[in-house]
Amino acid sequence: MEKSIEKRIPKSLIWLCVLAFFSVLNETVFNVSLPDIAAQFGIKPSAANYVNTSFILSFAVGTAVYGKISDIYGVKKLVLISMMIYSGGSLFGLLFHAWFPILLVARFIQGAGASAVPGLIMVIVTKSIEKQHQGKAFGMIGSTVALGEGFGPILGGWIADYVHWSYLFFLPMMTLVTLPFFLRTLPDEPMKKGGLDVLGGLLFVLGIVSFTLFTTHYEWWYLTNSVILFIGFVLRIRRAKEPFVEPALFKRRRFIVGVFVGGILLGTVAGFMSMIPYMMREVHQMSTSLIGGGVLFPGTLSVILFGIVGGSLVDRQGARFVMVAGLLLLVMGLFIVSLFADRSLWIISGALVLIFGGLSFVKTVISTIVAGSLSADESGSGMGFLNFSCFLAEGIGIAIVGGLLTQHRCNFPILPIVTDVAAYLYSNLTLLLLAVVITGGAIFMIVFKGEEASLDINRN
The verdict on 145 and 209 lying in the same domain is no
Asked if 210 and 333 sit in the same domain, the reply is no
Q: Is residue 109 part of a domain?
A: yes
| Mean pLDDT of the 239-258 span | 78
**Residue 100, pLDDT above cutoff 80:** yes
Look at residue 460 and tell me if it is in a domain. Answer: no
Average pLDDT over residues 221-249: 84
The pLDDT assigned to 107 comes to 92
Tell me the longest C-alpha to C-alpha distance in the chain.
Answer: 65
Q: What is the mean pLDDT of residues 192-211?
A: 76
pLDDT tens by residue, 287-312: 877 777 777 777 766 776 776 677 67
Residue 374 pLDDT grade (very low, low, confident, very high; cuts 50, 70, 90):
confident
Same domain, 57 and 182: yes
Per-residue pLDDT for 385 more than 80? no
Tell me if 181 is assigned to some domain. yes
Task: Clarify whether residues 282 and 171 are in a common domain.
Answer: yes
Tell whether 238 and 343 lie within a shared domain: no
Give the residue-averaged pLDDT of 198-210: 80
d(C-alpha 31, C-alpha 281), whole Å:
13
pLDDT one-digit tens code per residue, 130-150: 666 666 666 667 667 767 766
**Rounded distance between C-alpha atoms, residue 152 and residue 155, angstroms:** 5
* pLDDT given for residue 453 in this prediction: 43
Please say if the pLDDT value at position 455 is more than 60: no
Domain limit, last residue, from 225, 243, 261: 243
Confidence of residue 104 (pLDDT cuts 50, 70, 90): very high
Is-contact 201 244, C-beta < 8 A? yes
Alpha-carbon distance of 282 to 278, in angstroms, equals: 6
Do 280 and 343 share a domain, yes or no? yes
Instruction: Name the residue range of residue 239's domain.
Output: 197-243
Checking if the pLDDT of 186 tops 70, the result is no
175 and 311 inside one domain: yes
Closest-CA residue to 271 (of 385, 148, 404): 404
Determine, yes or no, domain membership for 353.
yes
Q: How far apart are CA 119 and CA 67, in angstroms?
A: 5
Confidence of residue 434 (pLDDT cuts 50, 70, 90): very high
Tell me how many degrees the CA angle 61-65-69 measures, rounded to the nearest 5: 175
Q: Which of 243, 265, 280 is the last residue of a domain?
A: 243
Q: What's the rounded mean pLDDT across residues 7-28?
A: 67
Q: Which of 65-79, 237-251, 273-287 has the highest mean pLDDT?
A: 273-287
- Report whether pLDDT(249) > 60: yes
Instruction: Decide if 82 is inside a domain.
Output: yes
pLDDT of residue 57: 77
Q: What's the mean pLDDT when you consider all of the chain?
A: 79
Q: How far apart are CA 440 and CA 460, in angstroms?
A: 28
Rounded percentage of the chain residues whose pLDDT exceeds 90? 14
Distance CA 63, CA 362 (A): 19
> CA-CA distance, 436 to 426, in Å (whole number)?
15
More confident residue, 24 or 418: 418
Q: What does the pLDDT average to over 328-347?
A: 90
Residue 44 has pLDDT above 80, yes or no: yes
**Total of domains in the chain:** 2
Q: Residue 4 pLDDT > 50, yes or no?
A: no
32 against 135, higher pLDDT: 32
C-alpha–C-alpha distance, residues 181 and 308, integer Å: 25
In a domain, 55, yes or no: yes
